[in-house]
Amino acid sequence: MKALFIGGTGTISNAITNQLLETGCELYLLNRGNRNEHLPKGVKIIQADIQNEEQVAQLIENEQFDVVADFIAFHPSQVERDFRLFRGKTKQFIFISSASAYQTPLSDYRVTEGTPLSNPYWEYSRNKIACEEYLIKQYRDHGFPITIVRPSHTYDERSIPLGVHGRRGSWQVAKRMLENKPVIIHGDGTSLWTMTHNSDFAKGFIGLMGNIHAIGESVHITSDETVTWNQIYQTIADALGVKLNAVHVSSHFLATCDDQFTGGLLGDKANSVVFDNSKLKRLVPEFVATTRLDQGIKRTIENILAHPELQIEDPEFDSWCDKVIAALDQAVQAVKA
């Protein structure tokens, strides 16, 4: 198989890249070369900015691919560009969408690929929906061989998966735990969530590559393990070897305090979701997610503690947490007075 990944070094695509090379795939990555230093041997690089359509068209002029996958398309104009570039050059085009495109809030907590797409809270998700709609039209009108993949919350060893964190990543929350400071959990912590290790996601994704039954289909790839946010944070605290000091805060309150949480919480993590992976398992019968959350989190924590460069502090978020918690404490005292 000859495949081209646009991107190829992110949380999701990095695991696919590593596993795919073990199968003997001829793999090309098209990117700007900013994060290629840790790529495994055997990857072929097409160094270019995908936004420079004319340059990319010249570089791939004489190429044909079995699979092209775009991991960094977020806006309809970007998949329109992909259609122009790869029409007639690939047997399968895989678009990485998002499970946050599903109906929010859900009318049924069980999510299948037939769940409607609608998210009034998050522009990111609405753009992904628009991308899907454009590609489906190209499939129907022109036979463009699309497969749409919808990841949910996928993580690796480089970042701790959380519900509430600052703009500089999740380490500051772990640091608060290590310092026995209270950490914020959105809502009451009992809503249901699914996290998927990137190595498990890669198994499902590779099974869809070159799969004739996946053409024209939309498929989500997640673990079958469902946990609450309280369990997630407790698992992180256990991996750090500390006691969890949790403060539960309304998602609406958090979004009012900082609009970055409007999409990420109200449009995503504040809602209970349970994914039905039956369709994926019909298309990829061998798929099974084998990394249990506590096992994956333990590996992530161990890796981050061993690599100080991954411990990116966020004093602004730390101060913001203190202010939110203090405001809640003051409200409680005011009501009791």
> In CATH, what number is assigned to the domain containing residue 64?
3.40.50.720
- Residue 183: what pLDDT? 98
C-alpha triplet 85, 86, 92: angle, nearest 5°: 160
Cis upstream peptide for 105 (omega within 30°) = yes
Cβ–Cβ < 8 Å for 263, 122: yes
- Same-domain pairing of 15 and 138: yes
**Residue 33 shares a structural domain with residue 182:** no
| In the block, residue with structure tokens 């003051």 | 330
194-243 tens-digit pLDDT? 999 999 999 999 999 999 999 999 999 999 999 999 999 999 999 999 99
For the chain, give the number of residues. 337
pLDDT of residue 36: 67
What pLDDT score does 34 carry?
67
- Of 27-31, 188-192, 289-293, minimum mean pLDDT range: 27-31
Q: Could you give the 3-state DSSP secondary structure of residue 236? A: helix
- Please name which of 320, 314, 323, 305 lies closest in space to residue 236, comparing C-alpha atoms: 305
Average pLDDT in the 52-68 region? 96
Whether residues 19 and 106 fall in one domain: yes
* Closest alpha carbon to 274 in 132, 153, 112, 133: 112
Residues 14 and 87 in one domain: yes
Q: Determine, yes or no, domain membership for 280.
A: no
**Which amino acid, one-letter code, is at 210?**
G
| pLDDT score for 9 | 82
In the predicted model, is pLDDT for residue 38 greater than 80?
A: no
Which residue range(s) make up the domain with 42?
Answer: 2-154+196-221
Tokens of 11: 């949380």
- Average pLDDT for residues 271-298, to the nearest whole number? 97
Query: Which DSSP string do the residues of 50-72 spell out, in sequence order?
Result: TT-HHHHHHHTTT--BSEEEESS
Dihedral, 164, 167, 171, 175 alpha carbons, nearest 10: -70
Residue 128: inside a domain, yes or no?
yes
Does 75 reside within a domain?
A: yes
Distance from C-alpha of 11 to C-alpha of 158, rounded to nearest angstrom? 8
| Structure tokens that stand for 238 in this block | 């256990």
Residue 33 binned pLDDT confidence (cut-offs 50, 70, 90): confident
**What tens digit of pLDDT does each residue of 107-155 get?**
988 999 999 999 999 999 999 999 999 999 999 999 999 999 999 999 9
Helix H or strand E segment including 26: strand 26-31
* 80 token code pair: 């329109």
Q: What is the mean pLDDT of residues 80-85?
A: 98
CB 305 within 8 A of CB 312: no
Unique residue bearing structure tokens 């890796």 = 303
Give first-to-last CA distance, the chain, whole Å. 70
User: What average pLDDT does this structure show over 252-276?
Assistant: 95
H-helix segments, the chain:
11-21, 53-59, 76-86, 123-142, 171-178, 198-208, 229-240, 251-257, 260-261, 278-283, 293-306, 315-336
Identify which of 268, 273, 274, 269 has the alpha carbon closest to the alpha carbon of residue 121.
268
In a domain, 337, yes or no: no
pLDDT at 81 over 90: yes
Residues 216 and 206 in one domain: yes
- Specify whether 318 is located in the same domain as 206: no
pLDDT value for 42: 85
- For residues 246 and 108, state if they share a domain: no
In a domain, residue 282? The reply is: no
**pLDDT value of residue 35:** 67
Residue 294 has pLDDT above 90, yes or no: yes
Mean pLDDT over residues 39-57, rounded?
90
Contact, 147 vs 217, CB < 8 A?
Answer: yes
User: What residues pair up with 26 in beta bridges, in sequence order?
Assistant: 2
For position 8, what pLDDT does the model report?
Answer: 81
CA 287 – CA 206 distance, rounded (Å): 10
Does residue 281 fall inside a structural domain?
no
pLDDT more than 90, % of the chain: 90
Same domain, 40 and 144: yes
CA within 13 Å, CB half, 319: 3
For the chain, the domain total comes to: 2
In a shared domain, residues 131 and 186: no
Q: Is the domain of 67 the same as that of 189?
A: no
Which pLDDT score is estimated for 39?
Answer: 76
Residue 171: left (phi > 0), alpha (psi -120 to 50), or beta?
Answer: alpha
pLDDT tens-digit readout, 300-326: 999 999 999 999 999 999 999 999 999
The first and second tokens of residue 52, run together, are 């420079």
C-alpha to C-alpha distance for 7 and 10, rounded to whole angstroms: 7
Query: What's the CATH code of the domain at 318?
Result: 3.90.25
